[in-house]
Amino acid sequence: MEIQFKDVSYIYQENTPFAHKALENISFKVGSGSFVAVIGHTGSGKSTLIQHLNGLSLPSRGEITIGDFRLSADGKPKNIRDLRRKVGVVFQYPEHQLFEETVAKDIAFGPKNFDVKQEEINLRIEKLFPAVGLSEELLERSPFDLSGGQKRRVAIAGVLAMAPEVLVLDEPTAGLDPRGQREIMDMFYQLHQEQNLTTVLVTHSMEDALAYADKIIILNKGQKYMEGSPLDVFKQTEKLQKVQLGVPEVIHFLNQYNERFGTSLNYQYQSMPELAEEIKKQLEVGSHE
């Protein structure tokens, strides 16, 4: 589903002395099927922004369209339930929201609320479980007996079981070890491609934004600060530094390398061996001049 923000502002506690503008005149468009990373400091408006994607918050000004749904200050649209079924949100530390007696019941809770039949839910779980890296033996266990990584996967399965068309991920790998982080991100990326999802990833990791996103939106103090493809955004090191954001380490290293050796090596999604080869070649050529 296509997502479009038109001059969206959101003000907490409007018309009170505590009024606080969390989003200010934000406009952008995310095409159906694209993978967008939203980056910004704590307090930049990222969380407020994603709360608008399934109507948890409605804009104070401006308008949001998500597929055929329209959100504005005029109040909740009648079909907001349909919107919430189609937009799955994986919040930070989603495992804190597990509550049922068994894993199977916990996963079924969401779809059941949307009147999905138990047989259909079972079918979905059957498909989902291998995809999220869980084995079916766990289905009748209590979610509270699982390891941290497994709990996170169960919570994610609960969102995926609603068969959303838009997937919103709020720092989905926080607190996991490197292998867990890689596995979870690869899993989302695979689902994104196989099911043609539109994915919105909120992250602090420039590395993940570079690896998975086709578009990056940078927020700063509630405003859109930058928007573009990862390579374009990360070319603008100085502009990012102005708001205390860095670039992915590989790009930072190449910048330093170029400065020291007077070269112009560019990052073009090379693998680590390819990069090493380029550097080696460059060193050899450079020395014969």
Partner 1 sequence: MDRKKLVEFKNVSFQYEEEGALVLNQVSFDIYEGEWVAIIGHNGSGKSTIAKLLNGLLMPKDGEIIVDGKKVDDDTVWDIRKDVGMVFQNPDNQFVGATVQDDVAFGMENRGVPREEMRERIQRTLSAVRMQDYLITEPHRLSGGQKQRVAIASVLAIAPKVLILDEATAMLDPTGRKEIMHTVNDIQESEGLSLITITHDLQEIVQADRVIVMNKGQIWKETTPRELFLQREELREIGLDVPFVAQLTDELRKQGVPLKEAALNHEELLEELWKFNSKM
Using CA atoms, how far apart are residues 250 and 255, in angstroms rounded to an integer?
9
Contact range with partner 1 by CB under 8 A, out of 12-20, 173-181, 193-201, 223-231: 173-181
**Sheet with 61-66: strands ordered across:** 20-30, 3-12, 61-66, 69-72
**Position 72, amino acid:** S
Strand boundaries in the chain, DSSP class E? 3-12, 20-30, 35-39, 61-66, 69-72, 87-90, 166-170, 198-203, 215-220, 223-228
Contact region with partner 1 (CB under 8 A), list: 122-130, 136-144, 229-237, 243-251:
243-251
Asked if residue 249 binds partner 1 (CB under 8 A), the reply is: yes
User: What are 115's two structure tokens?
Assistant: 């009147």
Q: Does 81 bind partner 1 (CB under 8 A)?
A: no
Q: Per CB under 8 A, does 179 bind partner 1?
A: yes
User: Tokens 């927020």 label which residue?
Assistant: 219
Residue-by-residue DSSP string for 97-125: G--SSSHHHHHHHHHHHTT--HHHHHHHH
Instruction: Note whether 174 binds partner 1 by CB under 8 A.
Output: yes
Query: In this chain, which stretch among 13-21, 77-85, 121-129, 255-263 interacts with partner 1, using CB under 8 A?
Result: 255-263
Pick from 16, 135, 244, 264: which binds partner 1 (CB under 8 A)? 244
287 binds partner 1 (CB under 8 A): yes
Name the one range near partner 1 by CB under 8 A: 96-104, 176-184, 215-223, 234-242. 176-184
Q: What is the SS3 assignment for 201?
A: strand
Q: Is 119 in the site for partner 1 (CB under 8 A)?
A: no
The residue ranges that bind partner 1 (CB under 8 A) are: 41-42, 147-149, 174-180, 182, 204, 244, 246, 249-250, 252-253, 256-257, 260-261, 272-273, 275-277, 279-280, 283-284, 286-287
